[in-house]
């Protein structure tokens, strides 16, 4: 499409879809008009893909996830459909600010963190690779809360992305299922009849997900909850107006809000309802699709691969068995075999508080038939494995991890270390019974969004240097290596980083009112706020650094900017205190005339995909400092490396593999290993000993207790100080000294401009393996046994 055709299309949509005249159009109007123009270009490849899959009767992958953190869609669609340059040119010709239009789009926060963003990267890679797939999830009316700071404290506000037109989705009133809850089960063991006490309608909303170069598009199908009956007319006529609207309100709560917590289980009935709601709708949808062309249910695993993204859709096992037995007349044991042939499960955390368990009373009340089937599945597994020590049910609870494991063909971890720890810890007994079942698939990120789109300066340099093949095959980035001995290339690499930092400094100046020196070292930690991720270790080191600078105001300090971003779960008090501490240190340190030229602390609020896209390209140092053994993988760590930031990190999650690939000399390692962590926790008084041995740490902790950052209030940060001095489960004290050492080593390396630059460029050159295309190929090969249809290439040419 030419620039003029794009311009005409945008103007036509502005006029006929929005009813606006160019002279009176707002940024919002232009954004919607442009989105519609780009959407037009996606619909054909999307239809073609669907037709091709039907024609080839190809196996489909179904990715079930409570969260899809898709980020803004317009720029992604522009870049992947190849319309970006024409669109920019068209907007230039119209005299309109293209960037403002792109940033006008709200970021749909339909996820908490890594798990949801991974699902979004996977969808994009599935489309890029032409693998027939569908993402299934919930269309939350309110995504993750919007974060604001008030006197440094986190304040949560509802996210309202749907108050604007959301033109990327197509409503599908015809794709709807009735989802029941509660009630009673009648009849025998097989072919029981479940009569639910209440029901809601799950209705589909489809969003096309376009792959690189617009060759293929899969669908993200999100379910919205609607009432069976909009209005209780009887109550309305009796004058009970608010009561009359009750059925609607009740039903809609199911897809109203995303649970704002990615590590602890709310244990709420509503959450269980949400999980069953979208899992059941998705399974019934895919069975209906299969039913259209096939008549033997035993063939289901040949056509259907289902991936359970963590245990949130773990009820899929019993639900699929129920649909096959009660609604299609299959024998129980056959149904279990068919279900297991289709289902696979990804584990994303070892934190015990995050492993879902449902009270049997609650499960039996909301899903009585499923509770019966879970008992039978458990008995069958016991019969098949007479030596087993475990049971799905324990202390009156159903362990969703064990249920998902037992009902899956393959169970995977998300980094090499995490997978090994899974075998030794949570699934130790099940792994002994089924040693083939657990495999590893190290996470990845899409290089389209996380390099090509978010970092045009670096992407342009790479393409000038090695061509654009890296966008489809990120491992081609290795071809940069020979250029790392070319001073001119390294200078251009440094220029790109400098430009990104200047841009970020400008934005921070405007939005946060803090002036940053773009030549300082930009040191970034962005992720959910959690004790295991140890933002408090980072801020403690910041305090110690600030104190030393004050002691030696004539010192030759390396200027450093500490940038934080992340939300705390609303009920996680300690995490909120950490946020308050960071903001309090920022307030004091940024205003200190002695240190302000060397040290700045900034914490832009409401961290989300869009903010990550701003921050990552401008980072020099990537903080990946979790307690070893606790971060399953991490994916931010990969995005930083890809964008030429050097990691300061522990041997945790995928950091281990990043270090292996970029080389130990290009990675600042510190801290205990996972094994050492486990051993140290057994040592009584480990924190006190670490503090006694390190005056610097003792003094930083004192500053928390003497009111330095709390206008003299000695108690404000006592909780954090006491925790680090006391139980210190996350070993902040024990890792502090080594973290301090590594931080100084990173600063020294940064001072040596050329050497640092080379390290940074090496990170980019060697991080291509962390593309989600590589991850998806692994899943397709080892788990799903699904391929792109033979005609994928011909379709692209059509």
Residue among 154, 443, 622, 791 that touches ligand NBG (CB under 6 A): 443
Q: Token pair of 736, please?
A: 């502090």
Give the residue with the Cβ less far from ligand NBG, 7 or 528.
528
Number of residues near ligand NBG (by CB under 6 A): 17
Q: Is 139 helix (H, G, I), strand (E, B) or coil?
A: coil
Residue 417 Cβ vs ligand NBG, minimum distance, rounded to whole Å = 11
Residue 597 Cβ vs ligand NBG, minimum distance, rounded to whole Å = 36
Give the residue with the Cβ less far from ligand NBG, 443 or 595.
443
In the range 373-432, which residues lie near ligand NBG by CB under 6 A? 414
The H or E element that residue 186 is part of is strand 184-186
Residue among 41, 139, 303, 348 that touches ligand NBG (CB under 6 A): 348
Question: What is the spatial distance between Cα 589 and Cα 595, in angstroms, rounded to a whole number?
Answer: 7
Which range of residues in 295-303, 331-339, 489-497, 628-636 is near ligand NBG by CB under 6 A? Answer: 628-636
Q: Is 170 exposed, middle or buried (0-12, 13-18, 19+ CB in 10 A)?
A: middle
In the range 99-128, which residues lie near ligand NBG by CB under 6 A? 113-115, 118
Question: What is the spatial distance between Cα 308 and Cα 64, in angstroms, rounded to a whole number?
Answer: 5
Measured between alpha carbons, how far is residue 763 from residues 442, 475, 626, 637 in Å? 18, 12, 20, 11
Residue 119 Cβ vs ligand NBG, minimum distance, rounded to whole Å = 9
Residue 400 Cβ vs ligand NBG, minimum distance, rounded to whole Å = 12
Q: Is 233 helix (H, G, I), strand (E, B) or coil?
A: helix
Q: Is 764 helix (H, G, I), strand (E, B) or coil?
A: helix
Residue 415 Cβ vs ligand NBG, minimum distance, rounded to whole Å = 8
User: Which one, of 521, 455, 454, lies nearest residue 493 by Cα?
Assistant: 455
In the range 276-315, which residues lie near ligand NBG by CB under 6 A? 310
Q: How many CB atoms lie within 10 A of CB 307?
A: 26
Give the residue with the Cβ less far from ligand NBG, 272 or 414.
414
What is the DSSP secondary structure assignment for residue 211, as one 8-state letter? P
In the range 606-625, which residues lie near ligand NBG by CB under 6 A? none
Give the residue with the Cβ less far from ligand NBG, 407 or 569.
569
Q: Contact at 8 Å (CB) between 228 and 251?
A: yes
Q: Token pair of 2, please?
A: 């030419």
Q: Is 26 helix (H, G, I), strand (E, B) or coil?
A: coil
When asked if residue 218 is in the footprint of ligand NBG (CB under 6 A), the reply is: no
When asked if residue 701 is in the footprint of ligand NBG (CB under 6 A), the reply is: no
CA-derived radius of gyration, the chain: 27
Question: What is the spatial distance between Cα 14 and Cα 1, in angstroms, rounded to a whole number?
Answer: 18
Is 370 tagged catalytic?
no
Residue 467 Cβ vs ligand NBG, minimum distance, rounded to whole Å = 31
Q: With the C-alpha atoms ordered 777, 223, 370, 253, is the resulting torsion angle positive or negative? A: positive
Give the residue with the Cβ less far from ligand NBG, 348 or 448.
348
Is 530 tagged catalytic?
no
Residue 321 Cβ vs ligand NBG, minimum distance, rounded to whole Å = 26
Residue among 301, 566, 617, 634 that touches ligand NBG (CB under 6 A): 634
Which range of residues in 218-226, 346-354, 721-729, 741-749 is near ligand NBG by CB under 6 A? Answer: 346-354
Question: What is the spatial distance between Cα 122 and Cα 63, in angstroms, rounded to a whole number?
Answer: 9
Determine the distance from the C-alpha atom of residue 239 to the mean position of all C-alpha atoms in its chain, rounded to a whole number: 47
Residue 111 Cβ vs ligand NBG, minimum distance, rounded to whole Å = 9
What is the DSSP secondary structure assignment for residue 782, as one 8-state letter? I
Q: Is 95 helix (H, G, I), strand (E, B) or coil?
A: coil
Q: What are phi and psi of 581, to 5 degrees?
A: -65, -45
Q: Contact at 8 Å (CB) between 171 and 99?
A: no
Give the residue with the Cβ less far from ligand NBG, 50 or 264.
264
When asked if residue 349 is in the footprint of ligand NBG (CB under 6 A), the reply is: yes
Q: Which of 221, 348, 452, 766 is catalytic?
A: 348
When asked if residue 354 is in the footprint of ligand NBG (CB under 6 A), the reply is: yes
Question: What is the spatial distance between Cα 798 and Cα 796, in angstroms, rounded to a whole number?
Answer: 6
Question: What is the spatial distance between Cα 526 and Cα 504, in angstroms, rounded to a whole number?
Answer: 15
Residue 443 Cβ vs ligand NBG, minimum distance, rounded to whole Å = 5
User: Which one, of 611, 639, 453, lies nearest residue 75 by Cα?
Assistant: 453
Question: What is the spatial distance between Cα 729 and Cα 726, in angstroms, rounded to a whole number?
Answer: 9
Residue among 75, 262, 378, 476 that touches ligand NBG (CB under 6 A): 262
Residue among 653, 671, 788, 789 that touches ligand NBG (CB under 6 A): 653
Q: Is 573 exposed, middle or buried (0-12, 13-18, 19+ CB in 10 A)?
A: exposed
Give the residue with the Cβ less far from ligand NBG, 74 or 628.
628
Residue 438 Cβ vs ligand NBG, minimum distance, rounded to whole Å = 15
Is 576 tagged catalytic?
no
Is 661 tagged catalytic?
no
The residue with its CB nearest to ligand NBG is: 114
Give the residue with the Cβ less far from ligand NBG, 105 or 773.
773
Q: Which of 527, 536, 661, 716 is catalytic?
A: 527
Question: What is the spatial distance between Cα 561 and Cα 600, in angstroms, rounded to a whole number?
Answer: 5
When asked if residue 73 is in the footprint of ligand NBG (CB under 6 A), the reply is: no
The H or E element that residue 128 is part of is helix 114-128
Assign 3-class secondary structure to 598-651. Answer: CEEEECCCCCCHHHHHHHHHHCCEEEECCCCCCCCCCCHHHHHHHCCCEEEECC
Residue 283 Cβ vs ligand NBG, minimum distance, rounded to whole Å = 22
Residue 793 Cβ vs ligand NBG, minimum distance, rounded to whole Å = 31
User: Which one, of 135, 69, 136, 112, lies nearest residue 279 by Cα?
Assistant: 136
The set of residues, in sequence order, having a beta carbon less than 8 Å from that of 67 and lying 6+ positions away, is 110, 111, 112, 115, 116, 119, 137, 258, 309
Q: How many CB atoms lie within 10 A of CB 589?
A: 23
User: Which one, of 396, 472, 410, lies nearest residue 438 by Cα?
Assistant: 410
Pairing of strands 193-195, 184-186: antiparallel
Residue 309 Cβ vs ligand NBG, minimum distance, rounded to whole Å = 9
Which range of residues in 182-190, 381-389, 629-637, 700-708 is near ligand NBG by CB under 6 A? Answer: 629-637
Is 348 tagged catalytic?
yes
Is 635 tagged catalytic?
yes
Measured between alpha carbons, how far is residue 277 from residues 111, 224, 356, 386 in Å? 17, 9, 17, 34
Q: Which of 639, 661, 716, 758 is catalytic?
A: 639
Q: Residues with catalytic annotation?
A: 348, 527-528, 533, 635, 639
**Which parts of this chain interact with ligand NBG (CB under 6 A)?**
113-115, 118, 262, 310, 348-349, 354, 414, 443, 631-635, 653
């Amino acid at each position: 499409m030419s620039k003029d055709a794009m311009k005409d299309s945008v103007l036509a949509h502005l006029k006929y879809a929005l009813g606006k005249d160019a002279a009176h159009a707002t940024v919002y109007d232009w954004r919607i008009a442009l989105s519609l123009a780009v959407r037009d270009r996606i619909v054909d490849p999307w239809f073609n893909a669907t037709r091709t899959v039907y024609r080839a009767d190809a196996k489909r992958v179904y990715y079930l996830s409570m969260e899809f953190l898709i980020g803004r869609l317009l720029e992604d669609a522009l870049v992947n459909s190849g319309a970006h340059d024409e669109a920019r040119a068209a907007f230039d010709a119209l005299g309109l600010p293209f960037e403002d239009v792109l940033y006008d789009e709200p970021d749909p926060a339909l996820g908490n963190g890594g798990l949801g963003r991974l699902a979004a990267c996977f969808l994009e890679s599935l489309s890029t690779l032409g693998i027939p797939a569908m993402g299934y999830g919930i269309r939350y009316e309110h995504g993750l809360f919007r974060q604001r700071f008030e006197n440094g404290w986190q304040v949560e506000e509802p996210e309202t992305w749907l108050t604007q037109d959301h033109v990327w989705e197509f409503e599908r009133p015809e794709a709807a299922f009735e989802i029941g809850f509660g009630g009673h089960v009648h009849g025998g063991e097989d072919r029981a009849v479940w009569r639910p006490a209440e029901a809601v309608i799950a209705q589909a909303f489809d969003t096309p997900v376009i792959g690189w170069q617009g060759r293929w598009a899969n669908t993200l199908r999100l379910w919205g909850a609607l009432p069976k009956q909009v209005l209780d007319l009887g109550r309305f006529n009796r004058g009970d107006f608010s009561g009359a609207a009750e059925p609607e309100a009740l039903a809609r709560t199911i897809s109203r809000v995303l649970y704002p917590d990615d590590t602890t289980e709310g244990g709420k009935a509503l959450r269980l309802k949400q999980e069953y709601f979208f899992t059941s709708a998705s399974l019934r949808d895919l069975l209906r699709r299969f039913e259209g062309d096939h008549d033997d249910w035993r063939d289901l695993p040949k056509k259907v691969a289902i991936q359970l993204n963590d245990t949130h859709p773990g009820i899929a096992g019993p639900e699929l068995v129920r649909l096959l037995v009660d609604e299609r007349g299959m024998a129980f044991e056959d149904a279990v075999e068919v279900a297991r042939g289709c289902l696979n499960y990804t584990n994303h955390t070892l934190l015990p508080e995050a492993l879902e368990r449902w009270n049997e009373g609650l499960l039996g009340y909301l899903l009585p038939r499923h509770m019966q089937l879970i008992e039978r599945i458990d008995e069958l597994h016991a019969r098949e494995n007479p030596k087993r020590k475990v049971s799905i049910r324990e202390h009156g609870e159903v362990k969703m991890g064990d249920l998902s494991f037992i009902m899956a063909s393959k169970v995977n971890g998300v980094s090499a270390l995490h997978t090994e720890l899974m075998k030794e810890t949570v699934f130790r007994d099940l792994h002994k019974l089924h040693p083939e079942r657990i495999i590893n698939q190290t996470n990845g990120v899409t290089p389209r969004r996380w390099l090509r789109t978010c970092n045009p300066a670096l992407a342009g340099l790479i393409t000038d240097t090695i061509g654009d093949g890296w966008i489809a095959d990120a491992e081609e980035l290795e071809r940069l290596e020979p250029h790392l001995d070319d001073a001119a290339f390294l200078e251009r690499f440094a220029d790109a980083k400098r430009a990104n930092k200047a841009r970020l400094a400008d934005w921070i100046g405007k939005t946060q009112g803090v002036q940053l020196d773009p030549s300082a070292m930009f040191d970034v930690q962005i992720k959910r706020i959690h004790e295991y991720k140890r933002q408090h270790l980072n801020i403690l080191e910041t305090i110690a650094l600030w104190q030393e600078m004050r002691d030696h105001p004539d010192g030759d300090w390396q200027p450093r900017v500490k940038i934080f971003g992340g939300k705390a779960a609303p009920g996680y008090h300690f995490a909120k205190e950490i946020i308050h501490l960071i903001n309090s240190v920022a307030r004091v340190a940024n205003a200190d005339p002695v240190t302000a030229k060397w040290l700045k602390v900034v914490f832009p609020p409401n961290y989300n995909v869009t903010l990550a896209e701003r921050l990552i390209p401008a980072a020099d140092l990537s903080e990946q400092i979790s307690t070893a053994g606790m971060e399953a993988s991490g994916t931010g760590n990969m995005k930083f490396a890809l964008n030429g930031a050097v990691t300061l990190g522990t041997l945790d999650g995928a950091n281990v593999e990043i270090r292996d690939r970029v080389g130990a000399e290009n990675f600042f390692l510190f801290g205990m290993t996972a094994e050492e962590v486990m051993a140290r926790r057994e040592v009584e008084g480990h924190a006190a000993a670490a503090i006694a041995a390190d005056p610097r740490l003792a003094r930083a902790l004192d500053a928390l207790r003497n009111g330095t950052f709390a206008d003299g209030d000695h108690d404000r940060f006592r909780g954090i100080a006491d925790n680090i001095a006391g139980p210190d489960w996350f070993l902040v004290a024990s890792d502090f000294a080594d973290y301090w050492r590594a931080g100084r080593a990173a600063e020294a390396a940064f001072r040596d401009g050329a050497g640092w630059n080379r390290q940074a460029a090496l990170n980019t050159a060697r991080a291509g393996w962390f593309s989600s295309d590589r991850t998806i190929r692994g899943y397709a090969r080892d788990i799903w046994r699904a391929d792109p249809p033979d005609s994928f290439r011909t379709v692209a040419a059509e």
